[in-house]
Structure 1
Amino acid sequence: MNVRRVLIIILTVMLVQFISINVLGDENDIKYIRVGLKNPMVYEDQAVISTNNDGFSIGTIDSSFNEILKTDAKSLFIRLDDFYKIEGDVLKLVDENEQSDYGPYHLEIQGEYEAYDDVKAEITNLENTGVKAYPYYNGKFRIWLGFYRTYEEALTEAGIFSEKLGKQINIIDETKTRIVIEDTEGNILLVLKPDTKLYIKGNTVEGNESIIAVNGSNYRDYLTLNRVNEELIIINYLPLEHYLYGVVPREMSVNWPLEALKAQAVAARNYALVSMRKHEDLGYDLCDTQHCQVYAGYDWESLKSNKAVDETYGKVLKYNGKLVNAYFHSTSGGHTENSENVWGYKIPYLRGVKDDFSIGSPNDSWQLVLNSKEVREKLEANGIDIGDIYSIEPLAISDYGRVLELKIEGTGGVEILKKEKSRKIFGYGSLKSTWFNVKSDADVYVVNGTDFEPVKTTLNKVHVVSANGTITSTRNVYSQVKITNGDKTNIMPVIPNVYIFEGRGWGHGLGMSQWGAKKMAELGYNYKQILEYYYTGAKVE
C-alpha cells in the first residue's frame, strides 16, 4: 500500500556513548523498563517511526538482542491490521460495516519458515510469478497474501491462488490482535502478533546507541508494539537509568542545583521500582504521563540531569530495608502532610515535617475565585447535583492546616468532599492543594449575645430579631441585607455569589517538596540530606 498519513518526521541522529547497565541487586534487580508512549501518538491506530541510524533491526531479546531481520529503510509505517478507507492521502480506520478499501482477512500459503531470509526468498519467487506476498510472524514465519474486506472475498481469492500455485491456501479470519509494519515504499515488512515480543532498534555500529523517533519524538534503545482493540501501543524498552534520563528534566528544572536534581533522580528511581507493572494489562510497566511520572525521552535530556542520574546510579531510598514509595510534589507551602490525611492510610516515612525551605516559592500562596454557578457546574460534571449552592465551609482540618472534609450545601442537599476529592472536583491545577480556607461575599462576623466573641459566618445562616421579638431566617426571606455601623452602609447578598479559596502550596503535600529541595541544595545540603529530611526515618542506600 502506498498511502501514507501526512506526518512530520523529524530525523535526528544522536551518537552517544553507551552506558552499560548492571544488575542493581535485591529488590532493585530490574535492568530494563517498558514505558507506554502516549504523548507522541498522533493517531491511536497508526504511527511513523524513523531513525538516522543505518535503518532498523527487528529481533527478540533474551540475555541479548537476537536479530531476525534488518532493513535499510529510514522510516517505517506502523498500523493496526484492521478495516481502512482511503481519504485523499490518508488512511482512516473505519468500522467493519462501513465501506473500506482494506480489511484484516488474509490468505496463508501452507508452510512455515525458521529464518526471515528463507521466507523472503520464497516471497521473491512468488513475486516473479506475479503474486504479491508478505511475511507473517508469530514465532515462526509464514507467507500471507492480501488485505481482504470480507471472508467471502478471501474465500474467492483462495480458490484462485490454490489453483494457480498448486498449494493449499488457508483463510485467516479477522482478529483484533495483529499489527502491520511497512516500509516507505508501501511494502509489507511484517505482520505480527504483539505477544511474540519483537523489538525494533536502529542499526548502529558498536559503541553507538540506537535513537528512534516516534512521530518526531526521539527515544533511546528499543521499541516494541502492543495492541488493545483499536489502540496501537508503542512501548519504549530501555534500561532503567536511561528511562530516568528522560524523567528527571521533566519533573524538575535542569537549571536547579545538581544536588536537588540528584534527589529527584533517586525519588524517580524509587517510584519506578515501586510502581513497576502498573500497566501490565496494557503490556508495559509505566506510562509517560503524570498518571505515573512524566517521561519525555531523549529530546528532553541534558548533561546536567543525566549527571544527576549517573552520580546516583543504583541509589534508592529505603525504610527498614524496604523501598520507599517516594511521593513528591511541587511545594508544600510551609509544612508537608501525613499520608493518612491524603490517601487514607498511615505510612511511617510519610510524616508531616515543618518546611521553611518551601516558604517564598512560587505557589507558596494562591487564590481561587469561583462563583456559585461555577461551583455547581463543577459538581455536576462529577455526578453531584445538590442544586444551587449557598454554603461552602471546611468541617475538618488536619494538624497542619489541610482540609480533610469540605462541606458544600445546596438547595437540593449536602455534599461532603473528603481529602483530595475537593481538588479532583475543582481541578488539581486550580485548587492547588487542600491547605486552604474559604471566604465568600456574604461573610459576616456576629456575636452570640452571651460572651460577645465574634464568630465568622454567612448571612444565610443568620436569624434576624425584630423589635417585637420575632425571629426570622434571612435565607428564607431576604436576598440581600443592609448592614450599617451608623456612618457607612453595605448591601450584602444573603446567599453568596462568590467563593474565594485562599491556599498554600501546590500538590498533595506528601514527601519531598521540589521547591524545598531546591532551596536546601542552594543552602549546601546534599541529596541524601534532602531526601532523609522529607522522608521520615528513611535512608539512602
Structure 2
Amino acid sequence: MRRIKIIIVPMLIALIVLMNVPHTFSYDKSTIPYNIKIGLFFDKTAKSTLLLESQSSFKVGVFQQDEFINLFDLDENKILLRKDKFYIGQGLSFTEYTGAINEQVNISNIEGPYHIQVGQSFTSYSEAYNFLNSLNIGSVNSYLSYEKEWKVFSGLYLTESSANEEANKINANYGYETKVIQPSTTRVQVINEKGNTIFMYDSSDELYFTGKDYRGNTPIVNVEGNNYRGAITAKRLSNSDMTIINKLPLEEYLYGVVPGEMPASWPIEALKAQAVAARGFALTNFNKYKQFDFNLCSTTNSQVYKGYTGEHPNTNMAVDETRSKVITYNGTLVEPYYHSNSGGHTEDSENIWSSQLSYIRGVEDKFSLDAPNSTWSVSFTKDEIKNRLANHNIFIGDILDMKITSISDNGRVLSLVVYGTDGQEIMEKQKSRTVLGLKSSWFSINSNNSTNNESQLMVINGTTSKEESINLTSKHVITADGIYEINNPQRSSIFNGKEYRSIDEEVIENISDTFVLYGKGFGHGLGMSQYGAKKMAELNYKYDEILTHYYTGVKVE
C-alpha cells in the first residue's frame, strides 16, 4: 500500500502542474490558421431547434482547407434547423415531442424521424435536384438529403411501419424504388418558414450555411437575433442537442472580440494592444474545445465574442492595423493574460496560477491608478461569509474571524484563513477571491475582531504595572481538580471576584459582526491592465510600448 502511494502522489502532482501550464507555441507566421470555429451554443446550452435568417437567401456548402465551396443555394431568407427527432408544432414554432409514440398516436401536427428514400443515390446536386423536380408521387412532401452523396427523401413519419406502408404505396402506384430511412443521431432537418421540410443533412459532414451577398453588404447570418460573419453549422454530438458553430476568418473573429473586451471609444493604441492580446489568446487556446469540434466559445470562458452585431469601426481598424501581430518570448508565441485594472501593480504568474512564466512578472503600474476599481471596499457580516463558504461546499460552523496569513511581494493575498466554530478553512491564491466573490485578491481586512483571530485577555502585569495581551488558546488553567488546557476560550468563563462572566462578555462583547475588506484592482492582475493601457495610450504610448511594459522581455512581431 505504501508503494502505491509513493507512485500515485508524484503522478497527481505532475498532472496538476500540467493542467496549469499555459499554452505556448513556436512562432511561425505561416502557421497562423486562417479560419477559426467558435462555439455559440453547446453542452448545456445546445439547441433542439435553431432559427437562422439572412438578408436575402442562403448558400449551403462545405469548407475545403480554408475555402468555402458552395454546393447549392437555398432560396429562403428564414430557416429552422432541428434534430431529426419527433416534433410538435407548426410554421417555425416547434418543440421536441417526448411523449409516447405508437400506432394509436393520432395527432396531426406531430412529425417524426422516419423517412422514405425515393430512387437511387446521386453523386451531384444537379442530378438529385433534377430527379426531385421530375418526381410525381402525389401530395407527399419530398426534399433533398445530403449524406456524403445526394438522395431524395419523402415524409416525416412517426413509426417505421407507417413509413413502410407509404413506401410500398409509392412503389406500387408510381413504380419508384423506395427504402425506409431509420432515425439518425447525426441527421439535421432544415425547415422553411411555412413549416415544410426542404432539406436534410448528416451533421458529421459539416455542411455550413452562409448568407449571400446582398446589395454589396457584408454577407451575414442572423442566429436567433445576433448577426455573424462567416458560416453557421449545427452538429449533433453524442448525448447532446445541436452544437452551433460559427466558422469565419480569425481576423474577422477578432472584429467581434475586441469591442467585447475593451470599449471601442478608447484610444486607438489601447485598442491595438487589446487586438494583439486577443489574437495571442485565440492562437494559444486554439484547441481548448476540441471535444466539441470547435476552437473557442463566445463567452468569458474564452473571450467575449459578439459577432457582427458587436463590431465597431474603431476596433475593426485596430485589428486591421495589427494584422498577424503577436507577442513572443524567446521566439515562442505566448498567452497574453489581461485584466481590467491592476490597482497599481501587476502580479507574478505563480502567485495566481501554479506556473512560473518569465514574461508574466509583476510590474509597477502607476497608469492604472485613479481609474475605476483601482481601489474598492466591500463589507461582509459573519453570516454572509458563512453563506458564501457554504455555496462552495465549505462548512466550518459559525464564523469567528478571518486572517490574512501570507501575501505576495506585489501585495496580493496568498493565504487567507477563515476560522469557524467547527474548524478553519485555508484559502490559497485565487480561492479567496473566488469564494468571497471579490474583485481581486489584493485586499486587507479591517474589523474589530481580535488581530490574532483567537480570544485574548487584557491583564495587568503586577511587576511592570502595564497591560499585556494574553492569547488564551492552548493555555492551561489550575483548578481544584487539576490542570486543564483551554481548547475553546470563547466558551470559557472568568471570575472577577464577584461573578462569573464569559470570555465573550468580558472581552468580545463590543466586537463588530462585520468585516470590511479594502482592495485594489479588478481581475487576476496578470499581464496587461486594460485601464492602464488606456492611460498609456492617452499619454501617447504606442501599442507595442504598452505591451512590452506589461509583458516582461517580450517582442511584438
Shorter chain as denominator, the TM-score bin is 0.7 to 0.9
- 8 Å Cα contact 1:78/1:182 also seen in 2: yes
| Amino acid corresponding to residue 447 of structure 2 in structure 1 | S
Contact 1:85 1:102 in 2 (8 A): yes
Match of 1:116?
A: 125
Code of the aligned partner of 1:481: E
User: What is the CA deviation profile of residues 455-498 of structure 1, one whole-angstrom value per residue up to 9, with x for unaligned ones?
Assistant: 999x99698999x9999754114484356xxxxxx9424xx633
How many Å separate the matches in 2 of 1:226 and 1:134?
20
* Aligned equivalent of 2:505, options 473, 481, 484: 481
2:81 aligns with one of 56, 78, 81: 78
Which residue is equivalent to 1:422? 432
- RMSD over aligned Cα atoms: 3.4
Q: Hey, what does 2:440 align to over in structure 1? A: 433
Alignment partner of 2:333 out of 304, 313, 323? 323
In the TM superposition, what are the counterparts of 1:45-124 in structure 2 within 5 Å?
Answer: 45-52=48-55, 54-62=56-64, 64-86=67-89, 90-95=93-98, 97=100, 101-124=110-133
Secondary structure of 1:209 counterpart? coil
Where does residue 313 of structure 2 map in the other structure?
Answer: 303
Instruction: Note the 1:404-419 alignment, pairs <5 A.
Output: 404-419=414-429
Q: CA deviation at 1:425?
A: 2.0
Query: 1:125 maps to which residue?
Result: 134
The yes-or-no answer on 1:497 pairing with 2:510 is no
Asked if the contact 1:461–1:475 (Cα under 8 Å) also holds between the matched residues in 2, the reply is no
Amino acid at match of 1:29: I
- Cα offset for 1:192? 1.1
Please report how far the alpha carbon of residue 331 of structure 1 lies from its aligned counterpart in structure 2 after TM superposition. Answer: 0.4
Shift of 1:132: 1.9
Letter in 1 for 2:57: G
Q: Please list every run of 5 or more consecutive structure 2 residues that lacks an aligned counterpart in the other structure.
A: 1-26, 493-501
- List aligned pairs for 1:120-519, cutoff 5 A: 120-127=129-136, 129-204=138-213, 208-228=217-237, 229-427=239-437, 431-443=438-450, 474-477=489-492, 478=502, 480-481=504-505, 491-493=509-511, 497-519=513-535
- Hey, what's the Cα distance between the residues in 1 that align with 2:401 and 2:264? 44
Asked if structure 2 preserves the Cα contact closer than 8 Å seen for 1:210 and 1:222, the reply is no
Aligned equivalents of 1:420, 1:50: Cα separation in 2: 43
Output the CA distance in 1 between the equivalents of 2:39 and 2:330: 32
> Any conservation in 1 of the 2:46–2:243 contact (CA below 8 Å)?
no
CA contact (8 A) 1:161 1:169 kept: yes
How high is the TM-score relative to the length of structure 2?
0.82
Quick check: 2:376–2:519 contact (8 Å CA) kept in 1? yes
CA 1:250 to 1:448, structure 2 compared with 1: closer, same or farther past 3 Å? farther
TM-score (norm 1): 0.84
Query: Are residues 338 and 162 of structure 1, via their aligned partners in 2, closer, same or farther at CA, if it must alter by over 3 Å?
Result: same
Is contact 1:80–1:230 with CA below 8 Å preserved after alignment? no
In our comparison, the structure showing a higher alpha carbon Rg is: 2
2: CA distance, partners of 1:175 / 1:454: 82
How far residue 167 of structure 1 moved from its aligned partner, in angstroms, is 4.1
Gaps of 5+ in 1: 1-23, 484-489
Answer whether contact 2:92 2:194 (CA < 8 A) is retained: no
CA contact under 8 A between 1:482 and 1:492: conserved in structure 2?
Answer: no
Secondary structure of residue in 1 paired with 2:343: coil
Cα deviation, residue 409, structure 1: 2.5
Does the Cα contact within 8 Å between 2:141 and 2:154 map onto a contact in 1? yes
Q: Distance between the aligned counterparts of 1:384 and 1:97, measured in 2?
A: 44
Q: Structure 2 CA distance, aligned partners of 1:437 and 1:405?
A: 12
Contact residue 406 and residue 413 of structure 2 kept, 8 A: yes
Provide the rounded CA distance (Å) in 2 between the counterparts of 1:449 and 1:108: 98
Deviation, structure 1 residue 208: 4.8
User: Which is further off, 336-345 or 106-115?
Assistant: 106-115
In the TM superposition, what whole-angstrom CA distance separates every residue of 1:4-27 from its partner, at most 9, and x where no partner exists?
xxxxxxxxxxxxxxxxxxxx9536
Q: Distance in 2 between matches of 1:246 and 1:455?
A: 63
In structure 1, distance between residues paired with 2:530 and 2:219: 32
**Counterpart code for 1:476:** R
Following superposition, the deviation at residue 105 of structure 1 comes to 2.4
SS at match of 1:377: helix
Code of the residue aligned with 2:363 in structure 1: it is: V
CA contact (8 A) 2:90 2:195 kept: no
Q: 1:470 to 1:417 in 2, by over 3 A?
A: closer
